[in-house]
Structure 1
Protein backbone atom coordinates (compact mmCIF):
# COMPACT_ATOMS: atom_id res chain seq x y z
CA UNK A 1 0.00 0.00 0.00
CA UNK A 2 1.45 3.37 -1.05
CA UNK A 3 1.85 5.54 2.09
CA UNK A 4 1.58 8.82 0.18
CA UNK A 5 -1.65 7.68 -1.44
CA UNK A 6 -3.03 6.59 1.93
CA UNK A 7 -2.24 9.99 3.47
CA UNK A 8 -4.09 11.68 0.61
CA UNK A 9 -7.12 9.46 1.20
CA UNK A 10 -7.06 10.25 4.92
CA UNK A 11 -6.96 13.97 4.19
CA UNK A 12 -9.93 13.60 1.82
CA UNK A 13 -11.74 11.63 4.53
CA UNK A 14 -11.42 14.50 7.00
CA UNK A 15 -12.85 17.00 4.53
CA UNK A 16 -15.85 14.89 3.48
CA UNK A 17 -16.39 13.59 6.99
CA UNK A 18 -17.10 17.07 8.33
CA UNK A 19 -20.00 17.65 5.96
CA UNK A 20 -21.28 14.09 6.45
CA UNK A 21 -21.27 14.74 10.19
CA UNK A 22 -23.41 17.85 9.70
CA UNK A 23 -25.97 15.75 7.81
CA UNK A 24 -25.98 13.08 10.50
CA UNK A 25 -26.24 15.50 13.43
CA UNK A 26 -29.17 17.32 11.84
CA UNK A 27 -31.07 14.10 11.22
CA UNK A 28 -30.35 12.55 14.63
CA UNK A 29 -31.65 15.70 16.34
CA UNK A 30 -34.95 15.58 14.45
CA UNK A 31 -35.34 11.82 14.65
CA UNK A 32 -34.31 11.65 18.29
CA UNK A 33 -36.33 14.53 19.73
CA UNK A 34 -39.39 14.52 17.48
CA UNK A 35 -39.54 10.81 16.52
CA UNK A 36 -40.03 11.93 12.92
CA UNK A 37 -38.48 10.07 10.00
CA UNK A 38 -37.45 13.14 8.02
CA UNK A 39 -37.49 12.15 4.36
CA UNK A 40 -37.04 15.81 3.38
CA UNK A 41 -33.55 15.93 4.87
CA UNK A 42 -31.85 15.37 1.53
CA UNK A 43 -33.98 18.04 -0.14
CA UNK A 44 -32.98 20.51 2.57
CA UNK A 45 -29.39 19.64 1.70
CA UNK A 46 -30.16 20.41 -1.95
CA UNK A 47 -31.99 23.58 -0.90
CA UNK A 48 -28.80 24.81 0.79
CA UNK A 49 -26.82 24.27 -2.42
CA UNK A 50 -29.43 25.99 -4.57
CA UNK A 51 -29.74 28.76 -1.99
CA UNK A 52 -26.03 29.46 -2.30
CA UNK A 53 -26.29 29.37 -6.10
CA UNK A 54 -29.19 31.83 -6.09
CA UNK A 55 -27.65 34.33 -3.69
CA UNK A 56 -24.04 34.11 -4.88
CA UNK A 57 -24.48 33.60 -8.64
CA UNK A 58 -27.93 34.95 -9.57
CA UNK A 59 -27.93 37.90 -7.14
CA UNK A 60 -24.15 38.32 -7.22
CA UNK A 61 -23.65 38.68 -3.49
CA UNK A 62 -20.48 37.91 -1.54
CA UNK A 63 -19.69 34.19 -1.45
CA UNK A 64 -19.24 33.99 2.33
CA UNK A 65 -22.35 36.03 3.10
CA UNK A 66 -24.28 33.86 0.63
CA UNK A 67 -23.44 30.75 2.67
CA UNK A 68 -25.01 32.38 5.74
CA UNK A 69 -28.14 33.20 3.73
CA UNK A 70 -28.34 29.61 2.46
CA UNK A 71 -28.14 28.22 6.00
CA UNK A 72 -30.69 30.72 7.29
CA UNK A 73 -33.00 29.86 4.40
CA UNK A 74 -32.73 26.18 5.27
CA UNK A 75 -33.69 26.91 8.86
CA UNK A 76 -36.70 28.96 7.78
CA UNK A 77 -37.86 26.23 5.38
CA UNK A 78 -37.44 23.62 8.11
CA UNK A 79 -39.49 25.69 10.55
CA UNK A 80 -42.24 26.07 7.93
CA UNK A 81 -42.32 22.31 7.29
CA UNK A 82 -42.77 21.69 11.02
CA UNK A 83 -45.41 24.40 11.47
CA UNK A 84 -47.47 23.66 8.34
CA UNK A 85 -47.13 19.89 7.96
CA UNK A 86 -46.03 18.26 11.20
CA UNK A 87 -47.64 20.34 13.92
CA UNK A 88 -51.24 19.74 12.74
CA UNK A 89 -50.51 15.99 12.69
CA UNK A 90 -48.81 15.83 16.09
CA UNK A 91 -49.91 12.63 17.76
CA UNK A 92 -50.78 10.90 14.49
CA UNK A 93 -49.46 7.39 13.90
CA UNK A 94 -46.00 6.97 12.38
CA UNK A 95 -47.38 5.73 9.05
CA UNK A 96 -49.27 8.99 8.52
CA UNK A 97 -46.23 11.08 9.39
CA UNK A 98 -43.97 9.06 7.10
CA UNK A 99 -46.37 9.42 4.16
CA UNK A 100 -46.62 13.15 4.86
CA UNK A 101 -42.83 13.56 4.80
CA UNK A 102 -42.48 11.43 1.66
CA UNK A 103 -45.03 13.69 -0.01
CA UNK A 104 -43.10 16.78 1.11
CA UNK A 105 -39.88 15.26 -0.26
CA UNK A 106 -41.50 14.71 -3.68
CA UNK A 107 -42.97 18.22 -3.74
CA UNK A 108 -39.67 19.86 -2.80
CA UNK A 109 -37.71 17.91 -5.40
CA UNK A 110 -40.17 18.68 -8.18
CA UNK A 111 -40.22 22.34 -7.15
CA UNK A 112 -36.44 22.40 -7.62
CA UNK A 113 -36.90 20.82 -11.07
CA UNK A 114 -39.44 23.49 -12.04
CA UNK A 115 -37.41 26.36 -10.62
CA UNK A 116 -33.95 25.43 -11.86
CA UNK A 117 -34.42 22.79 -14.57
CA UNK A 118 -32.56 19.52 -14.77
CA UNK A 119 -29.24 20.97 -15.98
CA UNK A 120 -26.51 20.90 -13.35
CA UNK A 121 -25.41 24.24 -11.93
CA UNK A 122 -21.88 25.13 -10.91
CA UNK A 123 -20.99 27.59 -8.16
CA UNK A 124 -17.69 29.48 -8.57
CA UNK A 125 -15.66 30.01 -5.42
CA UNK A 126 -13.30 32.86 -4.53
CA UNK A 127 -10.42 30.50 -3.75
CA UNK A 128 -7.33 30.04 -5.95
CA UNK A 129 -7.23 27.00 -8.20
CA UNK A 130 -3.68 26.15 -7.17
CA UNK A 131 -3.87 23.55 -4.36
CA UNK A 132 -2.06 23.63 -1.04
CA UNK A 133 0.67 21.01 -1.16
CA UNK A 134 1.99 19.59 2.11
CA UNK A 135 4.47 16.85 1.37
CA UNK A 136 2.59 14.13 -0.51
CA UNK A 137 -0.82 15.66 0.27
CA UNK A 138 -2.52 18.03 -2.15
CA UNK A 139 -5.68 19.86 -1.05
CA UNK A 140 -7.72 22.55 -2.73
CA UNK A 141 -8.26 25.71 -0.70
CA UNK A 142 -12.01 25.34 -1.17
CA UNK A 143 -12.01 21.92 0.48
CA UNK A 144 -9.94 23.26 3.38
CA UNK A 145 -12.50 26.03 3.82
CA UNK A 146 -15.33 23.48 3.72
CA UNK A 147 -13.65 21.41 6.44
CA UNK A 148 -13.02 24.44 8.65
CA UNK A 149 -16.59 25.71 8.46
CA UNK A 150 -18.01 22.21 9.05
CA UNK A 151 -15.91 21.79 12.20
CA UNK A 152 -16.98 25.23 13.48
CA UNK A 153 -20.64 24.34 12.94
CA UNK A 154 -20.22 20.99 14.71
CA UNK A 155 -18.59 22.71 17.71
CA UNK A 156 -21.32 25.38 17.75
CA UNK A 157 -24.00 22.67 17.75
CA UNK A 158 -22.33 20.86 20.64
CA UNK A 159 -22.20 24.13 22.59
CA UNK A 160 -25.86 24.86 21.85
CA UNK A 161 -27.02 21.41 22.95
CA UNK A 162 -24.88 21.11 26.08
CA UNK A 163 -24.32 24.68 27.31
CA UNK A 164 -27.50 26.67 26.67
CA UNK A 165 -31.03 26.76 28.09
CA UNK A 166 -32.42 25.82 24.69
CA UNK A 167 -30.13 22.80 24.62
CA UNK A 168 -31.24 21.77 28.10
CA UNK A 169 -34.87 22.02 27.01
CA UNK A 170 -34.16 19.95 23.89
CA UNK A 171 -32.40 17.24 25.89
CA UNK A 172 -35.22 17.19 28.44
CA UNK A 173 -37.78 16.83 25.65
CA UNK A 174 -35.78 13.96 24.20
CA UNK A 175 -35.61 12.12 27.52
CA UNK A 176 -39.23 12.60 28.65
CA UNK A 177 -41.62 14.85 26.79
CA UNK A 178 -44.38 14.76 29.40
CA UNK A 179 -42.08 15.59 32.30
CA UNK A 180 -40.42 18.36 30.30
CA UNK A 181 -43.85 19.88 29.59
CA UNK A 182 -44.75 19.72 33.29
CA UNK A 183 -41.51 21.57 34.08
CA UNK A 184 -42.56 24.44 31.82
CA UNK A 185 -40.84 23.53 28.56
CA UNK A 186 -42.76 24.73 25.51
CA UNK A 187 -42.77 21.46 23.59
CA UNK A 188 -44.25 22.95 20.43
CA UNK A 189 -41.53 25.61 20.27
CA UNK A 190 -38.83 23.02 20.93
CA UNK A 191 -40.10 20.87 18.07
CA UNK A 192 -40.07 23.85 15.69
CA UNK A 193 -36.58 24.95 16.74
CA UNK A 194 -35.28 21.38 16.56
CA UNK A 195 -36.55 20.92 13.01
CA UNK A 196 -35.19 24.33 12.04
CA UNK A 197 -31.76 23.52 13.51
CA UNK A 198 -31.57 20.10 11.87
CA UNK A 199 -32.68 21.60 8.56
CA UNK A 200 -30.10 24.38 8.86
CA UNK A 201 -27.31 21.83 9.34
CA UNK A 202 -28.46 19.91 6.26
CA UNK A 203 -28.60 23.15 4.26
CA UNK A 204 -25.11 24.03 5.53
CA UNK A 205 -23.75 20.72 4.23
CA UNK A 206 -25.35 21.40 0.84
CA UNK A 207 -24.05 24.96 0.69
CA UNK A 208 -20.53 23.81 1.55
CA UNK A 209 -20.44 20.94 -0.95
CA UNK A 210 -22.31 22.77 -3.72
CA UNK A 211 -19.16 24.59 -4.97
CA UNK A 212 -17.10 21.39 -4.61
CA UNK A 213 -19.35 19.36 -6.91
CA UNK A 214 -22.34 20.49 -9.01
CA UNK A 215 -25.90 21.30 -7.99
CA UNK A 216 -28.76 19.16 -9.33
CA UNK A 217 -32.39 18.63 -8.25
CA UNK A 218 -31.70 14.98 -7.40
CA UNK A 219 -28.54 15.58 -5.37
CA UNK A 220 -30.52 15.24 -2.15
CA UNK A 221 -31.52 11.60 -2.74
CA UNK A 222 -28.11 10.11 -2.03
CA UNK A 223 -27.43 12.65 0.72
CA UNK A 224 -30.60 11.56 2.50
CA UNK A 225 -29.61 7.90 2.35
CA UNK A 226 -26.17 8.73 3.69
CA UNK A 227 -27.66 10.75 6.53
CA UNK A 228 -29.77 7.78 7.61
CA UNK A 229 -26.72 5.54 7.30
CA UNK A 230 -24.76 7.85 9.61
CA UNK A 231 -27.55 7.83 12.19
CA UNK A 232 -27.60 4.02 12.08
CA UNK A 233 -23.83 3.95 12.55
CA UNK A 234 -23.81 6.40 15.42
CA UNK A 235 -26.91 5.33 17.32
CA UNK A 236 -30.21 7.17 17.64
CA UNK A 237 -29.97 10.47 19.51
CA UNK A 238 -26.20 10.35 19.88
CA UNK A 239 -24.64 13.52 18.46
CA UNK A 240 -21.12 12.31 19.16
CA UNK A 241 -21.97 9.04 17.45
CA UNK A 242 -23.39 10.90 14.44
CA UNK A 243 -20.20 12.96 14.21
CA UNK A 244 -17.93 9.92 14.35
CA UNK A 245 -20.29 8.01 12.06
CA UNK A 246 -19.94 10.73 9.43
CA UNK A 247 -16.16 10.37 9.44
CA UNK A 248 -16.38 6.56 9.38
CA UNK A 249 -18.67 6.64 6.35
CA UNK A 250 -16.35 9.09 4.60
CA UNK A 251 -13.35 6.88 5.38
CA UNK A 252 -14.98 3.71 4.05
CA UNK A 253 -16.09 5.48 0.87
CA UNK A 254 -12.67 7.01 0.29
CA UNK A 255 -10.78 3.78 0.86
CA UNK A 256 -13.26 1.84 -1.28
CA UNK A 257 -12.94 4.36 -4.11
CA UNK A 258 -9.17 4.49 -3.84
CA UNK A 259 -8.31 0.81 -3.55
CA UNK A 260 -11.24 -1.00 -5.15
CA UNK A 261 -13.09 1.21 -7.63
CA UNK A 262 -14.54 4.70 -7.63
CA UNK A 263 -17.74 3.15 -8.97
CA UNK A 264 -18.17 1.37 -5.65
CA UNK A 265 -17.72 4.49 -3.49
CA UNK A 266 -21.34 4.66 -2.36
CA UNK A 267 -21.77 0.88 -2.26
CA UNK A 268 -18.86 0.53 0.19
CA UNK A 269 -20.50 2.97 2.54
CA UNK A 270 -23.74 1.03 2.65
CA UNK A 271 -21.94 -2.28 3.00
CA UNK A 272 -20.68 -1.22 6.41
CA UNK A 273 -24.25 -0.23 7.33
CA UNK A 274 -25.43 -3.77 6.58
CA UNK A 275 -22.66 -5.17 8.76
CA UNK A 276 -23.57 -2.83 11.62
CA UNK A 277 -27.26 -3.72 11.39
CA UNK A 278 -26.42 -7.42 11.48
CA UNK A 279 -24.11 -7.31 14.51
CA UNK A 280 -25.05 -4.13 16.40
CA UNK A 281 -28.46 -2.90 15.24
CA UNK A 282 -28.59 -0.11 17.85
CA UNK A 283 -25.46 1.49 16.36
CA UNK A 284 -21.75 1.32 17.08
CA UNK A 285 -21.89 4.13 19.63
CA UNK A 286 -25.33 3.40 21.10
CA UNK A 287 -25.76 4.28 24.75
CA UNK A 288 -28.51 5.23 27.15
CA UNK A 289 -30.88 7.47 25.21
CA UNK A 290 -29.53 10.98 25.40
CA UNK A 291 -29.13 13.91 23.05
CA UNK A 292 -25.68 15.41 23.51
Structure 2
Protein backbone atom coordinates (compact mmCIF):
# COMPACT_ATOMS: atom_id res chain seq x y z
CA UNK A 1 0.00 0.00 0.00
CA UNK A 2 2.85 2.38 0.82
CA UNK A 3 4.43 1.76 -2.56
CA UNK A 4 1.09 2.34 -4.31
CA UNK A 5 0.57 5.64 -2.49
CA UNK A 6 4.05 6.76 -3.50
CA UNK A 7 3.25 5.94 -7.13
CA UNK A 8 0.01 7.94 -6.91
CA UNK A 9 1.89 10.96 -5.55
CA UNK A 10 4.41 10.66 -8.40
CA UNK A 11 1.51 10.36 -10.86
CA UNK A 12 -0.04 13.60 -9.65
CA UNK A 13 3.23 15.48 -10.02
CA UNK A 14 4.14 14.10 -13.45
CA UNK A 15 0.57 14.14 -14.72
CA UNK A 16 0.15 17.84 -14.01
CA UNK A 17 3.01 18.71 -16.38
CA UNK A 18 1.78 16.22 -18.96
CA UNK A 19 -1.57 17.97 -18.81
CA UNK A 20 0.09 21.29 -19.68
CA UNK A 21 1.63 19.68 -22.76
CA UNK A 22 -1.68 18.17 -23.80
CA UNK A 23 -3.71 21.35 -23.29
CA UNK A 24 -1.28 23.37 -25.40
CA UNK A 25 -1.34 20.87 -28.23
CA UNK A 26 -5.11 20.36 -28.23
CA UNK A 27 -5.63 24.13 -28.45
CA UNK A 28 -3.32 24.45 -31.45
CA UNK A 29 -4.59 21.41 -33.29
CA UNK A 30 -8.23 21.99 -32.43
CA UNK A 31 -8.43 25.65 -33.44
CA UNK A 32 -5.77 25.96 -36.13
CA UNK A 33 -5.81 22.40 -37.54
CA UNK A 34 -2.01 22.45 -37.37
CA UNK A 35 -0.11 19.30 -36.42
CA UNK A 36 2.54 20.98 -34.31
CA UNK A 37 5.54 18.69 -34.47
CA UNK A 38 7.60 21.45 -32.86
CA UNK A 39 5.60 21.24 -29.63
CA UNK A 40 8.28 19.14 -27.94
CA UNK A 41 10.97 21.62 -28.98
CA UNK A 42 8.99 24.44 -27.38
CA UNK A 43 9.02 22.27 -24.25
CA UNK A 44 12.82 22.08 -24.39
CA UNK A 45 12.94 25.81 -25.29
CA UNK A 46 11.27 26.57 -21.97
CA UNK A 47 13.82 24.47 -20.11
CA UNK A 48 16.76 26.16 -21.83
CA UNK A 49 15.20 29.60 -21.28
CA UNK A 50 15.04 28.82 -17.56
CA UNK A 51 18.69 27.72 -17.63
CA UNK A 52 19.78 30.87 -19.48
CA UNK A 53 17.89 33.32 -17.28
CA UNK A 54 18.33 31.53 -13.98
CA UNK A 55 21.86 30.16 -14.27
CA UNK A 56 23.72 32.26 -16.84
CA UNK A 57 22.09 35.60 -15.99
CA UNK A 58 21.79 34.69 -12.32
CA UNK A 59 18.23 35.87 -11.81
CA UNK A 60 15.94 34.54 -9.10
CA UNK A 61 14.57 31.07 -9.87
CA UNK A 62 10.94 32.13 -9.75
CA UNK A 63 11.59 35.18 -11.91
CA UNK A 64 13.45 32.95 -14.38
CA UNK A 65 10.47 30.60 -14.48
CA UNK A 66 8.08 33.42 -15.36
CA UNK A 67 10.47 34.78 -17.99
CA UNK A 68 10.77 31.29 -19.54
CA UNK A 69 6.99 31.07 -19.92
CA UNK A 70 6.81 34.56 -21.43
CA UNK A 71 9.64 33.76 -23.85
CA UNK A 72 7.80 30.58 -24.86
CA UNK A 73 4.74 32.71 -25.60
CA UNK A 74 6.77 35.07 -27.80
CA UNK A 75 8.47 32.14 -29.55
CA UNK A 76 5.07 30.65 -30.38
CA UNK A 77 3.78 33.97 -31.73
CA UNK A 78 6.91 34.33 -33.86
CA UNK A 79 6.52 30.82 -35.31
CA UNK A 80 2.90 31.50 -36.18
CA UNK A 81 3.63 34.83 -37.88
CA UNK A 82 6.77 33.79 -39.75
CA UNK A 83 6.06 30.17 -40.65
CA UNK A 84 2.36 29.41 -40.41
CA UNK A 85 0.70 32.65 -41.51
CA UNK A 86 2.21 32.51 -45.02
CA UNK A 87 0.96 28.90 -45.22
CA UNK A 88 -2.64 29.84 -44.42
CA UNK A 89 -4.89 27.92 -46.77
CA UNK A 90 -2.23 25.33 -47.61
CA UNK A 91 -3.06 21.65 -47.19
CA UNK A 92 -2.28 19.89 -43.93
CA UNK A 93 0.65 17.98 -45.47
CA UNK A 94 2.44 21.23 -46.30
CA UNK A 95 2.02 22.65 -42.81
CA UNK A 96 3.17 19.33 -41.33
CA UNK A 97 6.38 19.54 -43.35
CA UNK A 98 6.88 23.14 -42.25
CA UNK A 99 6.51 22.19 -38.59
CA UNK A 100 8.80 19.19 -38.98
CA UNK A 101 11.36 21.59 -40.46
CA UNK A 102 10.86 23.95 -37.52
CA UNK A 103 11.38 21.07 -35.12
CA UNK A 104 14.65 20.05 -36.78
CA UNK A 105 15.94 23.63 -36.90
CA UNK A 106 15.06 24.27 -33.25
CA UNK A 107 16.62 21.06 -32.01
CA UNK A 108 19.84 21.54 -33.95
CA UNK A 109 19.91 25.20 -32.94
CA UNK A 110 19.72 24.20 -29.28
CA UNK A 111 22.54 21.72 -29.76
CA UNK A 112 24.65 24.32 -31.58
CA UNK A 113 24.13 26.98 -28.91
CA UNK A 114 24.21 24.85 -25.79
CA UNK A 115 26.19 21.81 -26.89
CA UNK A 116 25.28 18.18 -26.39
CA UNK A 117 26.15 18.07 -22.69
CA UNK A 118 23.12 17.98 -20.40
CA UNK A 119 22.53 21.04 -18.22
CA UNK A 120 21.16 21.22 -14.70
CA UNK A 121 19.40 24.01 -12.83
CA UNK A 122 19.73 24.57 -9.10
CA UNK A 123 16.66 25.62 -7.15
CA UNK A 124 16.06 27.40 -3.82
CA UNK A 125 14.18 24.40 -2.40
CA UNK A 126 15.75 22.28 0.39
CA UNK A 127 17.24 18.94 -0.60
CA UNK A 128 15.58 17.07 2.24
CA UNK A 129 12.15 15.83 1.09
CA UNK A 130 8.82 16.43 2.75
CA UNK A 131 7.90 13.24 4.60
CA UNK A 132 4.29 12.50 5.48
CA UNK A 133 4.04 9.11 7.13
CA UNK A 134 5.63 6.67 4.70
CA UNK A 135 5.30 9.01 1.72
CA UNK A 136 8.13 11.32 0.73
CA UNK A 137 8.18 13.99 -1.95
CA UNK A 138 10.78 16.60 -2.72
CA UNK A 139 9.84 20.24 -2.21
CA UNK A 140 10.74 20.94 -5.84
CA UNK A 141 8.30 18.33 -7.13
CA UNK A 142 5.62 19.68 -4.81
CA UNK A 143 6.18 23.15 -6.24
CA UNK A 144 6.02 21.75 -9.79
CA UNK A 145 2.66 20.17 -9.00
CA UNK A 146 1.20 23.35 -7.50
CA UNK A 147 2.51 25.57 -10.31
CA UNK A 148 1.21 23.22 -13.00
CA UNK A 149 -2.22 23.06 -11.37
CA UNK A 150 -2.31 26.85 -11.22
CA UNK A 151 -1.47 27.09 -14.93
CA UNK A 152 -4.13 24.50 -15.78
CA UNK A 153 -6.67 26.55 -13.84
CA UNK A 154 -5.62 29.76 -15.59
CA UNK A 155 -5.92 28.02 -18.97
CA UNK A 156 -9.43 26.83 -18.17
CA UNK A 157 -10.52 30.31 -17.04
CA UNK A 158 -8.94 31.89 -20.11
CA UNK A 159 -10.80 29.59 -22.50
CA UNK A 160 -14.14 29.60 -20.71
CA UNK A 161 -14.39 32.95 -18.92
CA UNK A 162 -12.78 35.59 -21.15
CA UNK A 163 -13.65 37.36 -24.39
CA UNK A 164 -10.51 35.93 -26.01
CA UNK A 165 -11.55 32.43 -24.98
CA UNK A 166 -15.03 32.97 -26.41
CA UNK A 167 -13.48 34.07 -29.72
CA UNK A 168 -11.20 31.02 -29.71
CA UNK A 169 -14.13 28.69 -29.11
CA UNK A 170 -16.13 30.40 -31.85
CA UNK A 171 -13.22 29.96 -34.25
CA UNK A 172 -13.01 26.30 -33.30
CA UNK A 173 -16.70 25.78 -34.08
CA UNK A 174 -16.91 27.73 -37.35
CA UNK A 175 -14.06 29.95 -38.53
CA UNK A 176 -16.06 31.63 -41.30
CA UNK A 177 -19.03 32.43 -39.08
CA UNK A 178 -16.71 33.78 -36.38
CA UNK A 179 -15.02 36.00 -38.96
CA UNK A 180 -18.37 37.35 -40.11
CA UNK A 181 -19.21 38.21 -36.50
CA UNK A 182 -16.10 40.39 -36.26
CA UNK A 183 -13.56 37.95 -34.80
CA UNK A 184 -10.01 38.71 -35.95
CA UNK A 185 -9.01 35.22 -37.09
CA UNK A 186 -5.38 36.19 -37.71
CA UNK A 187 -5.03 37.40 -34.13
CA UNK A 188 -6.84 34.36 -32.73
CA UNK A 189 -4.48 32.02 -34.54
CA UNK A 190 -1.44 33.90 -33.26
CA UNK A 191 -2.83 34.00 -29.72
CA UNK A 192 -3.69 30.30 -29.84
CA UNK A 193 -0.23 29.26 -30.95
CA UNK A 194 1.38 31.61 -28.44
CA UNK A 195 -0.71 30.27 -25.54
CA UNK A 196 -0.15 26.65 -26.53
CA UNK A 197 3.59 27.28 -26.86
CA UNK A 198 3.77 29.02 -23.49
CA UNK A 199 2.15 26.00 -21.81
CA UNK A 200 4.68 23.67 -23.45
CA UNK A 201 7.50 26.00 -22.37
CA UNK A 202 6.07 26.07 -18.84
CA UNK A 203 6.10 22.27 -18.69
CA UNK A 204 9.72 22.22 -19.83
CA UNK A 205 10.75 24.94 -17.39
CA UNK A 206 9.06 23.11 -14.50
CA UNK A 207 10.53 19.70 -15.30
CA UNK A 208 13.95 20.99 -16.35
CA UNK A 209 15.23 21.29 -12.76
CA UNK A 210 13.67 17.93 -11.85
CA UNK A 211 15.61 16.04 -14.53
CA UNK A 212 18.33 17.39 -16.83
CA UNK A 213 18.12 19.67 -19.86
CA UNK A 214 19.31 18.36 -23.22
CA UNK A 215 18.58 19.08 -26.91
CA UNK A 216 16.86 15.70 -27.27
CA UNK A 217 14.46 16.15 -24.35
CA UNK A 218 11.71 17.41 -26.65
CA UNK A 219 11.49 14.22 -28.72
CA UNK A 220 9.71 12.10 -26.15
CA UNK A 221 7.75 15.10 -24.84
CA UNK A 222 6.30 15.64 -28.31
CA UNK A 223 5.23 12.01 -28.61
CA UNK A 224 3.61 12.12 -25.19
CA UNK A 225 1.78 15.33 -26.01
CA UNK A 226 0.21 13.69 -29.07
CA UNK A 227 -0.60 10.61 -27.01
CA UNK A 228 -2.37 12.75 -24.40
CA UNK A 229 -4.46 14.51 -27.06
CA UNK A 230 -5.40 11.16 -28.58
CA UNK A 231 -6.26 9.74 -25.17
CA UNK A 232 -8.27 12.72 -23.96
CA UNK A 233 -9.98 13.56 -27.23
CA UNK A 234 -9.51 16.55 -29.50
CA UNK A 235 -11.07 19.80 -28.38
CA UNK A 236 -11.43 19.07 -24.68
CA UNK A 237 -9.33 20.95 -22.15
CA UNK A 238 -10.66 18.65 -19.44
CA UNK A 239 -9.92 15.62 -21.61
CA UNK A 240 -6.32 16.74 -22.14
CA UNK A 241 -5.95 17.29 -18.40
CA UNK A 242 -7.34 13.88 -17.47
CA UNK A 243 -5.42 12.27 -20.33
CA UNK A 244 -2.17 13.67 -18.93
CA UNK A 245 -2.85 12.16 -15.52
CA UNK A 246 -3.92 8.82 -17.02
CA UNK A 247 -0.73 8.61 -19.08
CA UNK A 248 1.37 9.41 -16.00
CA UNK A 249 -0.52 6.78 -13.99
CA UNK A 250 0.11 4.12 -16.65
CA UNK A 251 3.80 5.00 -16.72
CA UNK A 252 4.17 4.97 -12.94
CA UNK A 253 2.36 1.67 -12.46
CA UNK A 254 4.22 0.12 -15.39
CA UNK A 255 7.57 1.23 -14.01
CA UNK A 256 6.69 0.17 -10.47
CA UNK A 257 5.05 -3.19 -11.04
CA UNK A 258 6.38 -4.37 -14.41
CA UNK A 259 9.77 -2.86 -15.19
CA UNK A 260 11.24 0.61 -15.35
CA UNK A 261 12.39 -0.25 -18.87
CA UNK A 262 8.74 -0.47 -19.96
CA UNK A 263 7.78 2.87 -18.42
CA UNK A 264 7.07 4.65 -21.69
CA UNK A 265 5.77 1.53 -23.42
CA UNK A 266 2.98 1.05 -20.87
CA UNK A 267 1.61 4.49 -21.52
CA UNK A 268 1.50 4.01 -25.27
CA UNK A 269 -0.06 0.57 -24.81
CA UNK A 270 -2.99 2.33 -23.12
CA UNK A 271 -3.23 4.64 -26.14
CA UNK A 272 -3.47 1.67 -28.51
CA UNK A 273 -6.26 0.11 -26.44
CA UNK A 274 -8.20 3.39 -26.35
CA UNK A 275 -7.86 3.84 -30.11
CA UNK A 276 -9.17 0.33 -30.70
CA UNK A 277 -12.35 0.84 -28.70
CA UNK A 278 -12.89 4.63 -28.82
CA UNK A 279 -11.01 6.20 -31.73
CA UNK A 280 -12.24 9.72 -30.91
CA UNK A 281 -10.65 9.60 -27.45
CA UNK A 282 -12.16 9.15 -24.02
CA UNK A 283 -13.45 12.70 -23.63
CA UNK A 284 -13.90 13.94 -27.20
CA UNK A 285 -16.09 17.01 -27.55
CA UNK A 286 -16.70 17.73 -31.19
CA UNK A 287 -18.78 20.83 -30.57
CA UNK A 288 -16.31 23.10 -28.79
CA UNK A 289 -13.00 23.73 -27.11
CA UNK A 290 -13.44 23.79 -23.36
TM-score by length of 2: 0.99
Distance 2:143 2:173 in 1: 36
Which structure 2 residue ranges, 5 or more long, are not aligned? none
Matches within 5 A, 1:1-292: 3-292=1-290
Query: SS of the counterpart of 1:105?
Result: helix
Q: What stretches of structure 1 move > 3 A for 4+ residues in a row?
A: none
Distance 2:244 2:159 in 1: 19
Query: SS of the counterpart of 1:138?
Result: strand
Which structure 1 residue ranges, 5 or more long, are not aligned? none
Distance 1:57 1:214 in 2: 14
Distance 1:76 1:288 in 2: 29
| TM superposition shift of 1:290 | 1.1
Query: SS of the counterpart of 1:246?
Result: helix
| TM superposition shift of 1:50 | 0.3
Is the CA contact 2:107–2:216 (under 8 Å) kept in the aligned structure 1?
yes
Distance 1:287 1:57 in 2: 42
Q: Deviation per CA, 1:51-102, whole angstroms, max 9, x where unpaired?
A: 0000000000000000000000100000000000000010001110000000
Distance 1:60 1:286 in 2: 44
Distance 1:18 1:109 in 2: 25
| TM superposition shift of 1:247 | 0.2
Is the CA contact 2:235–2:285 (under 8 Å) kept in the aligned structure 1?
no
Distance 1:89 1:288 in 2: 25
Distance 2:130 2:36 in 1: 38
Q: Deviation per CA, 1:135-158, whole angstroms, max 9, x where unpaired?
A: 111000000000000000000000
Q: How many pairs does the alignment contain? A: 290
Distance 2:123 2:269 in 1: 34
RMSD (CA atoms)? 0.5
